[in-house]
Structures are given as C-alpha cells and as structure tokens.
C-alpha cells in the first residue's frame, strides 16, 4: 500500500490521512479491520449458502435437503450468521471507531493478532465439527443434547478471542484519552461502539459461564448442568449478543446518516442516554426465552419482561426517531424543505449506503421491533414460542436490520480502507433494495406460517399427516421465494465486494468516487458540494446560520410507527384471548 502522506505535515509512520474524508487512519487498525471484515464476509457467504438450502427445504413443495442435512445446516446457518459474521464485523467496527474517530493508534498489534487468531480457529473448528456431523444440536445446543467437545471448545475460542479484541478496543480508547488525541467528549459513534463493547463483555462472560461447564460435561469430566440453568445463561449469550448488534447497527445508522447527508444528532444527550439504556437493561432479554418454561414463576417472567426491559425498548424507539430526524434536519438545511417529506424524497436513494441504512431502520423498527416486543410479552408468547413467528421476528432484526446496515457500511469501508472504487456500480445501487425485499418476504412468510402454528427448526410439517392447512404451505412458499431473493442479493453483495478487492480501480491519492450525496441547493445559502467528492463532513447550515430543527416529517413517520405497533400488539392480545384457558 502506498503511503499517501500529504507533503505539508510530517505524519507519524503509524498513520495515513484518508484521501476522501481527511480523517486519520491507523495503519495497524486498518490491517485488522480488513482481516476481520474479509473473514466476516466469508462467514456471511457460508451462512448464506446454508440459508438458501434451508429456505428451499422449508418450502415444502421443493423440500430440497435430506433430513440429517437439514438439521445440520440449521446449526451451521445459525452459528455462521448470528455469531461469526456479526462478531468479526463488529470487531472491525470497534477497531475503526477506536482509532480513526479518535485520531488514535491501535493499542496493540499482538493482542489484535491473538484475538483474530483465536476467533478464526474457533470458528473454523465449529464449522468443521458441524459439517462432519458431530454437532447436530442446533445453535442453542440445549442440554441434554450433546455435541462433540470440539464444538464447545470452538465456541469458547471465538468468545475469548472476541473478548480479547474488545479488550484491545478498551485499551485503545484508554490510551487515546491519556494521550489527549481528541478534545472533549468522544464522538457519538464511538460512544455507541463503546456501549456495544460493554454489552459484548457481559454477553461473552455469559458464554464462558455456560460453555465451559458444558464443554467439561461433554468430555465426561463433570455431571450434566441443569437444563433450565443452561437455557437462562445460554440466552444471556444468545440474546444479548444480538443487542451488541443493535448497538453496532444504530452506530452505523448515525455514521452513515452523517457520511451521506451530513446529519448530526439533534441532541447528543438523548442519543447517548438511549445507548446507556441499552447497557443497563438489555440483559433482561434473556428472560424472553423462558416465558413458557417450567421452573420459573409467572412473577419472575412478568417482572423480568416488563419494568426495565421496556426501557431498552424505549431506547430503540428514541434512536428510531433521532436518526431520521437528524437526516431530516440536515436535508432541510440543504434546502430540501418542500412539504412534509421533501427531505426524504430528495434523499440520496441511489447511494447504497444510504438506502441500505434507511431500509435497515424501517425493517428493524416496523417488522423486527414491533414483533419482538409483542412476542416477548409474557402471555402472548404462548401463541408464538418456538413457531416460525420467532424466526420471522429475528430475521427482521438481525438480517433486515443489522446485516443490511453492515452491508451498507461496506459500501464505504471498501473504497475508504481498501482504497478501491466499486465495480459494477449500478448493480451495487440496487443490491440493498433486493436484499431488503427478499428479507421482507422471508420474514413475513415465516411470521404468517408461524401464526398458523408451523414450528421452527422442523424438516417436514406433514410427516404424520396434515396438521396445517394449505395457507401454511402458501406462506412457506413465500418464505422460500424470499430466501432465494435474499440469497441472490447476498451473493451479489459478496461478488461485488470481492470483485472490487480484486479488480476495483485504486483510488489512492484521490477521493473515492461519490455514491451520490445531496447537494446544498443554491437558494439555501450554502455552497454546493462537488458531485464527485463524498461529503465526509458536509456543513449543513441554514441561511440564518443556526440549524433549524424542523422534524415534522419524522414525527409523522414516528406516529405511523406507534399506530402500527398498537394495532399489532392489541391484535395479538385478541388472538390470545381466543385460545383455551390455561394457567
């Protein structure tokens, strides 16, 4: 890689200045961001191939995989998508946020190598053990089901490796603070990334607490841990790790909003406060998996899913407002003031980072969020537990939300860090829409099939005669078609990314080719941005000089959201009231 040091100021050797944004890039961090991002995309592809096979099997008319392979691939798909792809990408985000945004140097190369090595070895170990048929236990591996000891060892390695990477991040921001590489408070994106890192520590400790005894048990060294204890602690890993995603995803929304439209938080206190709510209260989400379990009382279930849990819901509702509101204000200040939604219709929808990020927000909020809160309601869980409604929910949060946001960010990561401009740009522009459409179909197909009673993780719903009617089969077909579309656009994403790394035109020494960022209209008083240059820190100033806070459009969207939420929530209470009395 050629150094791009500007001739004007002598730069220390450990960093370079980004040709596009003018931000400093730590070379060590850059290396590990690249390594982690590449691994993330490889695991995404592995999980994605699994996804296609599963979708084509659950679509009962196609019913592709043989039975052993179906359950094997469910296990593989879950771990690669929910754990490996996400964790590798998150470590990359942490290294980015801790160095570039704080003008700081990565704390330790060695620690980063150790973390990366452990994660990679662990992940490969898990995948190999699954593929040779020694771990057909699903991602959750509920006791007394037992896999080969190397399966648990692999997961422990990934968890400890990730913890090591997170430690490197904390050390990096601590060192930056000591060396005063930045002034005042850390930027919002760093704050969000730090929230994600703190939750990750709590999450991974749960993983260690539950996986180490299970590993020892699989070796025959200790007696079997209690299955309910296992469920409770395992979900401290399984659900909370997804809240790490939520934090990282929301940070991506803020970051991309800023890069593409110049949006800045209306009120830093509100945004940061919402992240603090995640840190404090999201750990209770573990209880959502035990709502129809024996061994825990109704009081325990209600207590742990109401009070503070809803403060974490509140946090998401706040971010869901502040992100589009900040975009609205930025766009209005650029002169896009027409009507309620002129700011939105003029947003850079041709920019895949913007469209991916905004679609991620919509799918996460309207589908994932609303279904999640409703299904996590203690009594409503009776008509949802372990059906496809659950997978319908979390494919909207984790795939439509987090994965799409991470894809969106990649459209800047590759040009800015790998310093190659994307190939086949028109295809890249439509990729987020195809993926969002596929996931939407997949998620809705799952949700409706689940409402009709179709179980998740089941190879054949008619193995013993007809339990479910033709409409269940219709929705399974919708699931299958959505899966095909989502996989096709995932493959497109991987091909575009890898193709760009191999064949993309280098942009070293110049700004990246712009994906499209809205110009400031001349009558708004500002000066136009060069269409060819990404507006890394677009200065959004209204004619009066002071940013006006007109967020009517966002408020209307938010009210539509609240109304949808209420309708879905109470419709579910009505559905529950129709089933047999039980207590």
Interface residues for another protein in 477-536 (CB under 8 A)? none
Q: What is the DSSP letter of 185?
A: S
* Cβ proximity to another protein, 59 vs 565, nearer residue: 565
- The residues that bridge with 16 in the sheet, in sequence order, are 25
* Cβ proximity to another protein, 8 vs 299, nearer residue: 299
Q: Which of 221, 382, 508, 567 binds another protein (CB under 8 A)?
A: 382
Q: Which of 373, 398, 441, 534 binds another protein (CB under 8 A)?
A: 373
Site for another protein in 443-462 (CB under 8 A): 451-453, 455-461
Q: In angstroms, what is the minimal distance from the CB of 119 to another protein? A: 26
- Which residues, in sequence order, are CB contacts of 506 under 8 Å at separation 6+? 419, 420, 421
Half-sphere exposure of 371 (CA within 13 A, CB side): 26
**Is 64 one of the binding residues for another protein (CB under 8 A)?**
no
Q: In angstroms, what is the minimal distance from the CB of 424 to another protein? A: 28
What 3-state DSSP class applies to 460? coil
Task: Give the torsion sign (CA, 289, 295, 298, 302).
Answer: negative
d(CA 405, CA 328) in angstroms, rounded, equals 19
Please give the radius of gyration of the chain, using alpha carbons only, rounded to the nearest integer.
Answer: 24
d(CA 113, CA 106) in angstroms, rounded, equals 12
**Is 409 one of the binding residues for another protein (CB under 8 A)?**
no
- The residues that bridge with 15 in the sheet, in sequence order, are 26
Query: Dihedral through CA 82, CA 69, CA 442, CA 58, nearest 10?
Result: -150
- Which residues, in sequence order, are CB contacts of 47 under 8 Å at separation 6+? 76, 77, 79, 80, 81, 84, 85
Q: In angstroms, what is the minimal distance from the CB of 42 to another protein? A: 27
* Cβ proximity to another protein, 566 vs 571, nearer residue: 566
**Is 124 one of the binding residues for another protein (CB under 8 A)?**
no
- Choices 206-214, 232-240, 255-263, 480-488; region in contact with another protein by CB under 8 A: 255-263
**Is 208 one of the binding residues for another protein (CB under 8 A)?**
no
Quick one: tokens of 410?
């990649």
**Is 541 one of the binding residues for another protein (CB under 8 A)?**
no
* Cβ proximity to another protein, 254 vs 411, nearer residue: 254
Q: Where are the beta strands (DSSP E) in 170-228?
A: none
- Give the count of residues interacting with another protein (CB under 8 A): 109
* Cβ proximity to another protein, 5 vs 379, nearer residue: 379
Q: Which of 121, 128, 138, 498 binds another protein (CB under 8 A)?
A: 138
Q: In angstroms, what is the minimal distance from the CB of 219 to another protein? A: 20
* Cβ proximity to another protein, 380 vs 496, nearer residue: 380
Largest CA distance in the chain: 77
**Is 280 one of the binding residues for another protein (CB under 8 A)?**
no
Site for another protein in 301-320 (CB under 8 A): 301-302, 305-307, 310-311, 313-314, 317-318
* Cβ proximity to another protein, 110 vs 583, nearer residue: 583
DSSP-derived secondary structure for 60-77: TTT--S-HHHHHHHHHHH
- Choices 24-32, 358-366, 378-386, 506-514; region in contact with another protein by CB under 8 A: 378-386
Provide the b/e sequence for 135-155 (b: ≥16 CB within 10 Å).
bbbbbbbebeeebbbbbbbbb
Provide the b/e sequence for 103-124 (b: ≥16 CB within 10 Å).
bbbbbbeebbebbbebbbebbb
Contact 479, 58 (CB under 8 A): yes
Q: Which of 295, 339, 528, 530 binds another protein (CB under 8 A)?
A: 295
* Cβ proximity to another protein, 267 vs 522, nearer residue: 267
- Choices 50-58, 400-408, 525-533, 549-557; region in contact with another protein by CB under 8 A: 549-557
Taking CB under 8 A as the rule, which mask of x and - marks residues 91-120 in contact with another protein?
Answer: ----------x-------------------
- Residue count of the chain: 583
Q: Which of 174, 549, 567, 571 binds another protein (CB under 8 A)?
A: 549
**Is 181 one of the binding residues for another protein (CB under 8 A)?**
no
- Choices 201-209, 263-271, 422-430, 480-488; region in contact with another protein by CB under 8 A: 263-271
């Amino acid at each position: 890689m050629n150094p791009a040091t500007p001739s004007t100021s002598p730069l220390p050797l450990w960093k370079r200045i980004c040709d596009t944004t003018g931000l400093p890039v730590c070379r060590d961090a850059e290396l590990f961001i690249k390594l982690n991002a590449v691994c993330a995309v490889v695991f995404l592809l592995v999980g994605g191939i699994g996804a296609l096979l599963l979708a084509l099997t659950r679509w009962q008319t196609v019913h592709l995989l043989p039975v052993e392979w179906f359950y094997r691939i469910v296990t593989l798909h879950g771990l690669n998508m929910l754990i490996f792809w996400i964790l590798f990408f998150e470590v990359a985000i942490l290294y980015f946020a801790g160095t570039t945004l704080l003008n700081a140097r990565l704390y330790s190369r060695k620690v980063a190598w150790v973390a990366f090595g452990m994660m990679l070895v662990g992940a490969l170990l898990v995948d190999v053990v699954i593929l040779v048929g020694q771990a057909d236990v699903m991602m959750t591996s509920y006791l007394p089901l037992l896999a080969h000891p190397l399966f648990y060892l692999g997961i422990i390695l990934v968890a400890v490796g990730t913890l090591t990477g997170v430690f490197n991040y904390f050390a990096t921001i601590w060192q930056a603070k000591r060396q005063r590489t930045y002034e005042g408070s850390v930027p919002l994106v760093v704050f969000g990334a730090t929230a994600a890192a703190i939750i990750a520590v709590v999450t991974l400790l749960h993983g260690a607490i539950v996986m180490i005894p299970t590993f020892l048990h699989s070796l025959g060294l200790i007696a079997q841990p209690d299955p309910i204890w296992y469920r409770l602690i395992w979900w401290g890993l399984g659900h909370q790790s997804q809240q790490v995603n939520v934090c990282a995803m929301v940070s991506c929304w803020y970051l991309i909003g800023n890069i593409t439209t110049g949006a800045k938080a209306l009120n830093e206190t509100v945004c940061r406060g919402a992240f603090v709510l995640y840190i404090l209260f999201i750990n209770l989400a573990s209880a959502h998996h035990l709502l129809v379990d024996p061994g825990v009382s109704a009081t325990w279930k209600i207590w742990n899913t109401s009070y503070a849990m809803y403060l974490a819901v509140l946090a998401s509702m706040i971010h869901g407002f502040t992100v589009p509101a900040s975009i609205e204000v930025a766009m209005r200040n650029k002169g896009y003031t027409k009507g309620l939604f002129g700011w939105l219709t003029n947003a850079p929808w041709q920019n895949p980072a913007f469209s991916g990020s905004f679609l991620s927000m919509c799918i996460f909020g309207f589908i994932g969020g609303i279904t999640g809160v409703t299904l996590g309601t203690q009594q409503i869980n009776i008509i949802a537990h372990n059906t496809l409604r659950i997978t319908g929910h979390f494919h909207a949060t984790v795939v439509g939300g987090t994965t799409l946001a991470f894809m969106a960010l990649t459209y800047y990561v590759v040009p800015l860090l790998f310093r190659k401009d994307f190939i086949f740009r028109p295809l890249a522009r439509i990729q987020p829409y195809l993926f969002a459409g596929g996931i939407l179909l997949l998620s809705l197909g799952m949700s409706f099939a689940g409402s009709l009673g179709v179980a998740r993780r089941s190879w054949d719903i008619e193995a013993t005669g007809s339990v479910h009617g033709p409409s269940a089969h219709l929705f399974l077909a919708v699931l299958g078609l959505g899966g095909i579309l989502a996989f096709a656009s995932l493959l497109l994403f991987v091909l575009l990314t890898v193709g760009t790394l191999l064949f993309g035109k280098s942009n070293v020494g110049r700004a990246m080719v712009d994906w499209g960022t809205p110009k400031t209209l001349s009558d708004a008083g500002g000066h136009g941005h060069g269409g060819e240059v990404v507006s890394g820190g677009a200065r959004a100033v209204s004619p009066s000089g002071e940013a006006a806070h007109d967020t009517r459009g966002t408020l209307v969207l938010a009210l539509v959201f609240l109304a949808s939420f209420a309708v879905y929530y109470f419709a579910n209470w009505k559905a529950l009231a129709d089933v047999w009395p039980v207590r």
